[in-house]
Amino acid sequence: MPDRQSSTTQNGVALLRIVVPDQTRLDVLNSMGVDLAEYKKDVDGGIEVHAVLSPQEAQDLRNLGFDVRGAISDQTDLAENKAQRQAAQSLAAAVAGEADKLTPLRAEWFDSTDNQRFLSVEVKSSATDAETVLTASWDSGRKTAPDSGGTATMSRFTDAGQYMYHRFNSPLTVAETPTTVTITSNHGTSITVPVTKWLGDKRKAPNKHYVSDFVDHYMDPTELTGRITSLARQFPQISEIVDLPNKTNGYRRAAQAQFGTAAASTLYVSSKAFGSEGGNDLSVALVKPDVASSPLSVKVTGKDVVVSLATDESAAISSTSRQVVDALSADASASALLTASTYRGNAGAGVVAAATATKLSDNLKAPATISRAPFQQKVLRIGKKRDGSKVGVFLYCQEHAREWVTPLVCTETAERLLRNYSRDAQTRKLVDNLDIFIMPVVNPDGAHYSFYDYNMQRKNMTNHCAATSGDPGSRNSWGVDLNRNFTVGSAFDGYDGASTTSCTSGTFAGPAELSEPEAKNEVWLTEKYPNIKFAMNTHSYGGYFMWPPGAYKAAGRELLPRVDFGTENFFWDASGHILSAVQSYRGTAIWPGRTGPVPDVLYSAAGNSADEHWFNRGIMGWDFEVGADLYNPTTKQFQAVGFQPEFSEGHEEAMEFASGQIGILETALAFSKDDKAPKSKLDVTGRTDTSTTFTFSINEPANVYYTLDGSRPTLSSPKLVSSGMREGTQQITVNKTTQVRWFSVDIASNVENGYKPAGNNNNYKQEKVEVRKVR
Ligand SMILES: [Zn+2]
């Protein structure tokens, strides 16, 4: 019987932990449409993810062999035991194989809340097999022994069945700041690399008149929209409301009633009119006549439908649910008011029970002040000069309904910009020189539902289900995942992480790309205002900072194209600035391991909005997952915060990520002012008697185009790439003395030396790379 009840009791639905052995298994879970949180964490024995599951759904997953554990609150991570165990294993595995090559990716220390200091290390071994064990040792400051800080075994990180690199499950606490870390492989190789500082860039202390902290409770979409409307009225010189052209379906649905207990004898009815438009006034009765051999008949009086059930010779009911459904469908008056269906596609051979007149209900619990009409979505546009001449930034929040903190982030940012404009010079620079579009709630219908009916609602409310899953017990599972409804790398294109077939899947992509008005509105805005160059898609939870590409095909982990070398470095550079802004509020450090392209740190999300904006319109977009794990110094564990933490915590998350959004605006401002050309140089990095290896270094994120055949470099020439995921610059090897010609272009399109790649001048850079006997 219905498992997810459409009621406020939630019927045992909870946020549970699932541990899968590897990414391949996680991809299976993801492609099954399980209602996953945007969160994953390496744990002993695999990867921990969180899913919203009813008791039946949890049981179904267990039956399929998934390790479904308890609710997320109590985490007994076995990090210490694990380190000990792996150290023992590494001894056993220390059968010397062939020496491997170790490539350091990242080695960083950072401070987070409670003045706790952490170490994060990522290293790639050329030996990709599971028997390769890497151990990291670090010092405890300058002139201390190389292993005086501690030693730990690293975890092997695999994705879609492929080895990626080694890292720690979570950053390790350190008492003193390490200067170097030494990574040793059980194959006998060892490297020592410097540990650099992650985040904590010095930020100017805010002007003492700077005001912040404008959100003091969780807000529903009606209140949020009222709030930005009133802000635009208060600050007409520097802001306005943009009405989006597509109204949502609205916080409304059909009224329904269900009769019966066993599936074969159950039927349900759905009103043709929405509940709020007359559906809630309908009633249906299944009446047993007290006579033998009575025929099945239907009578409609006004809004009341009475079914007189058939009886046999002994005056017992003989109508099956199928027969009642057919009789209701055949009656013109009844079928004008409602549709009738058997339960979830059942043949309906069971005899029904009598039922007194039962009112149909849409079962929506929001007060009458929440409109049941299609919702007018609004964007608050902030800027002194709103004529399209300034660089545009699109900040949007709450694509997923249950992520209650996210609209507070957008609202807080809007308030800070408007209320500090007259008193803070830095705010004035942002507002005077940028065109800022703030959309606090992308998914208003789903969010109203999450507030008043079913708090774990992720999708919008639109029912695309056929009669087989249109029953009242499926109502909490209807809707489209708006962040899977876009057109690039979508499930319709074969990418992983959304369902095109199950209307009740947690990641249902909709009946087609851009089927939903909410998704159409996002695209409309970015097309209508082509000056938008940056975007931020804010979700919760886990503390992630991500950028495109965001999807892959599971077979072979075929990724959407990675961004180019210069853009990737721009994203990393901006991360330092933006995440330091987040950190400036209460110390929260987003981990290096939770920073990067989406599939490198989370999982494939087919048809998400950031990919849409980047691949179709070149908008550099990020995704925040607000709500970083909280470190508990007593238990020495990180704990997940969930979708709707107590407001005191939600408030802190809104404050710190609003600071992050301001950091994005600062990044956009620097981009808009950037008229300085990049400077690059050629560095020889290795020589043998028969070859020379070199690369380029550049003083800012930029792309390098080069030729090795003496020709004039153009934008069609080979482009410098990264040597691999999270690795450094490509190394180029030549086997004979070569004249290298090149130029660099930064992200704001400034070309080194003012060189014109399409022109005739020869003011590119050039250098002869010699190949000669080393000695
Ligand atoms: Zn989300």
The model's pLDDT over 571-584, given as tens digits with 9 standing for 90+, comes to 999 999 999 999 99
CA-to-CA distance for 370 and 135, rounded, in angstroms? Answer: 58
| Cis-peptide, bond into residue 251, ω within 30° of zero | no
Residue 623 alpha carbon to ligand 1 centre in Å: 9
Q: Average pLDDT, stretch 551-579?
A: 92
Query: Given pLDDT bands bounded at 50, 70 and 90, which one contains residue 127?
Result: confident
For the chain, give the number of residues.
Answer: 775
* Separation of CA 657 and ligand 1 centre (Å): 15
pLDDT for 87 equals 53
Q: Among residues 36, 712, 673, which one has the least CA distance to residue 390?
A: 673
Q: How many CB atoms lie within 10 A of CB 452?
A: 17
- From the CA of 397, how far away is ligand 1's center (Å)? 9
Ligand 1 centroid vs 177 CA: distance in angstroms? 35
State in Å: Cα 609 to ligand 1 middle. 11
Q: What is the pLDDT of residues 422-462, one digit of tens each?
A: 999 999 999 999 999 999 999 999 999 999 999 999 999 99
Q: Which long-range contacts (CB under 8 A, 24 or more apart) does 72-77 make?
A: 72/15, 72/16, 72/17, 72/640, 72/642, 73/639, 75/17, 75/637, 75/638, 75/639, 75/640, 76/637, 77/43, 77/44, 77/169, 77/170, 77/637, 77/638
For the entire predicted model, the pTM comes to 0.88
Strand 765-769 relative to strand 738-746, pairing? antiparallel
How remote is the CA of residue 558 from the centroid of ligand 1, in Å?
Answer: 23
Q: Is 83 strand, coil or helix?
A: helix
Residues 743-753 pLDDT 10s: 999 999 999 99
For every residue of 552-603, DSSP letters joined together read EETGGGEESPPPPHHHHHHHHHHHHHHHHHHHHHH-----GGGEEEHHHHS-
Rounded distance from Cα 2 to ligand 1 centre (Å): 26
Least confident range from 206-215, 239-248, 306-315, 403-412: namely: 206-215
Mean pLDDT of 332-339: 98
Q: How far apart are CA 574 and CA 303, in angstroms?
A: 61
How many angstroms does the Cα of residue 198 sit away from the middle of ligand 1?
Answer: 26
| pLDDT tens-digit map of 42-83 | 887 889 999 988 888 888 899 888 998 877 633 233 344 445
Q: Ligand 1 centre from 157 Cα, in Å?
A: 24
Name which of 722, 708, 706 is nearest 755 in CA terms.
706
753 Cα–ligand 1 center, Å: 44
CB 253 within 8 A of CB 461: yes
Q: What is the CA radius of gyration of the chain?
A: 30
- Alpha helices, DSSP H, located in 516-560: 517-528
pLDDT in tens, 621-666: 999 999 999 998 888 889 999 999 999 999 999 999 999 999 999 9
**In terms of Cα–Cα distance, which of 190, 75, 89 is closest to 133?**
89
E strand or H helix that includes residue 329: helix 321-330
d(CA 208, ligand 1 centre) in Å: 35
Torsion sign (Cα): 328, 332, 338, 344: positive
CA distance 746 to 584: 28
- How far, in Å, is the centroid of ligand 1 from the Cα of 176? 37
403 CA distance to ligand 1 middle (Å): 7
Distance separating alpha carbons of residues 194 and 179, to the nearest angstrom: 6
Centre of ligand 1 to C-alpha 365, Å, is: 24
Q: How far is the CA of 33 from the centre of ligand 1 (A)?
A: 14
Question: Can you tell me the mean pLDDT for 367-383?
Answer: 97
Q: How far does residue 224's CA lie from ligand 1's centre (Å)?
A: 18
Q: How far apart are CA 655 and CA 484, in angstroms?
A: 28
Asked if 599 and 551 count as a contact pair (C-beta separation under 8 A), the reply is yes
Q: Write down the number of H helices and E strands in the chain.
A: 14, 39
d(CA 471, CA 453): 17
For ligand 1, the distance from its centroid to the CA atom of residue 22, given in whole angstroms, is 22
Query: Cβ atoms within 10 A of the Cβ of 610, count?
Result: 26
Query: Span 224-237, mean pLDDT?
Result: 97
**Cα(402) to centroid of ligand 1, in Å?**
8
Which residue is it, tokens 């550079």? 573
Average pLDDT estimate for 28-55: 87
User: 638 alpha carbon to ligand 1 midpoint, in Å?
Assistant: 21
486 C-alpha to ligand 1 centroid (Å)? 14
CA 148 to ligand 1 center in whole angstroms: 42
CA 87 to ligand 1 centroid distance, Å: 38
What's the pLDDT at 92? 47
Q: Of 580, 762, 724, 592, nearest to 663 (Cα)? A: 580
Q: Which pLDDT belongs to residue 53? A: 87
User: How far is the centre of ligand 1, averaged over its atoms, from the C-alpha of 398 (Å)?
Assistant: 7
pLDDT of residue 86: 54
Tell me the mean pLDDT in the region 106-125.
89
- 8 A C-beta contact, residue 294 and residue 349: no
* Distance of CA 139 from the midpoint of ligand 1 (Å): 40
625 Cα to the center of ligand 1, angstroms? 8
Q: Could you tell me the distance, in angstroms and rounded to a whole number, from the CA of residue 106 to the centre of ligand 1?
A: 28
192-223: pLDDT as tens digits: 999 999 988 777 777 888 999 999 999 999 99
Residue 712 alpha carbon to ligand 1 centre in Å: 47
C-alpha 217 to ligand 1 mean position (Å): 20
Pairing outcome for strands 102-112 and 196-197: parallel
Ligand 1 mean position, distance from CA 459 (Å)? 9
167 CA to centre of ligand 1 in angstroms: 26
Q: If you measure from the C-alpha of residue 626 to the centroid of ligand 1, how many angstroms do you get, rounded to a whole number?
A: 10
Q: Do the beta carbons of residue 485 and residue 519 sit within 8 Å?
A: yes
- Asked whether residue 36 carries a pLDDT value surpassing 60, the answer given is yes
- Give the distance (Å) from ligand 1 centre to CA of residue 594: 15
Residue 540 Cα to ligand 1 middle (Å): 6
Give every strand in the sheet of 46-53, ordered side by side.
36-43, 46-53, 14-20, 67-71
pLDDT at 277 over 50: yes
- Whole-number Å distance between alpha carbons of 139 and 195: 10
Q: Please give the distance, rounded to the nearest whole angstrom, from the Cα atom of residue 36 to the centre of ligand 1.
A: 10
Q: How far is the CA of 604 from the centre of ligand 1 (A)?
A: 13
Integer Cα distance of 512 and 708 in angstroms: 47
CA of 141 to the centre of ligand 1 (A): 40
**How far apart (Å, rounded) are the C-alpha atoms in residues 620 and 256?**
45
Report whether 258 contacts 312 (CB < 8 A).
Answer: no
Question: What distance in angstroms lies between residue 574's CA and the mean position of ligand 1's atoms?
Answer: 22
Backbone angles phi, psi at 187, to 5 degrees: -85, 0
- C-alpha 222 to ligand 1 mean position (Å): 20
pLDDT tier, 6 (very low <50, low <70, confident <90, very high otherwise): very low
DSSP character at residue 204: P
Q: How far is the CA of 395 from the centre of ligand 1 (A)?
A: 15
Mean pLDDT of 244-262: 97
% of the chain surpassing 90 pLDDT:
78
* Cis before 701? omega within 30: no
Question: Which of 80-84, 173-177, 533-537, 675-679 shows the lowest mean pLDDT across its residues?
Answer: 80-84
Compute the distance between CA of residue 747 and CA of residue 586 in angstroms, rounded to an integer. 32
Burial pattern 545-560, b for ≥16 Cβ within 10 A else e, equals bbbbbbbbbbeebebb
Question: DSSP labels for 620-660?
Answer: EEEEEEEEEPEEETTTTEEE---SS--HHHHHHHHHHHHHH
Q: Determine the distance separating the centroid of ligand 1 and the alpha carbon of 538, expressed in angstroms.
A: 8
Cα of 455 to ligand 1 centre, how many Å?
Answer: 14
The phi, psi pair for 258, rounded to 5°, reads -125, 140
Contact 606, 553 (CB under 8 A): no
Using the mean position of ligand 1's atoms as its centre, give its distance from the Cα of residue 400 in Å: 5
Q: Is 699 helix (H, G, I), strand (E, B) or coil?
A: coil
* pLDDT level of residue 158 (50, 70, 90 thresholds): confident
**Contact at 8 Å (CB) between 699 and 678?**
yes
CB-based burial of residue 246 (10 Å sphere; 0-12 exposed, 13-18 middle, 19+ buried)?
Answer: middle
Who wins on pLDDT, 115 or 358?
Answer: 358
Mean pLDDT, to the nearest integer, of 401-407? 98
How far, in Å, from the CA of 434 to the mean position of ligand 1?
A: 27
What lies within 8 Å, CB to CB, of 113 at 6+ separation is 586, 587, 588, 630, 631
What's the sign of the alpha-carbon dihedral 475, 481, 486, 489? negative
How far is residue 428 CA from its own chain's centroid?
31
Is 760 buried (19+), middle (13-18) or exposed (0-12) by CB count in 10 A?
exposed
Confidence of residue 555 (pLDDT cuts 50, 70, 90): confident
Confidence bin at 11 (pLDDT 50/70/90):
low
pLDDT of residue 661: 98
* Ligand 1 centroid from CA 239, angstroms: 28
End-to-end CA distance of the chain: give it in Å, rounded. Answer: 82
Q: For all residues of the chain together, what is the average pLDDT?
A: 92
> With bands split at pLDDT 50, 70 and 90, how would you rate the model's confidence at 468?
confident
Identify the residue whose tokens are 């052995």: 21
Q: What pLDDT score was predicted for residue 9?
A: 41
Q: Which amino acid is at 79?
A: A
- CA 38 to centroid of ligand 1, rounded, Å: 6
pLDDT at 75: 29
